Amino acid sequence: MPKTYLCTSAACSLGTVKQPGRFSGGISKEHVNILTGQPVDSLEKGKDFGEGICPNCGQSGKEEA
């Protein structure tokens, strides 16, 4: 079973009002580039992209128990 994460960012459209969004996996470095404009070669795996990083807003999610 894949790990799921909670995105608690108030600005993220993944969840509903006062409810965190849920996702599995994470955002790719190319998607971060499109979302934020940061150069791909300046991004760090695990910090800026990858498993546990919200694919909607790019913020780090909290692993769901």
Cα 28 to Cα 45: distance, rounded to the nearest angstrom = 9
Give the predicted TM-score (pTM) of the model. Answer: 0.86
- Locate the domains of the chain by residue range: 4-63
Quote the pLDDT of residue 31.
96
Please say whether the beta carbons of 20 and 8 come within 8 A. yes
- Tokens at 48, concatenated: 């800026």
Q: How many residues does the chain have?
A: 65
Sorted by sequence, the CB contacts under 8 Å of residue 43 that are 6+ apart come out as 29, 32, 33, 49
Residue 18 gets the label, from left (phi > 0), alpha (psi -120 to 50) or beta, of left
1-36 pLDDT, tens per residue? 889 999 999 889 998 888 899 999 999 999 999 999
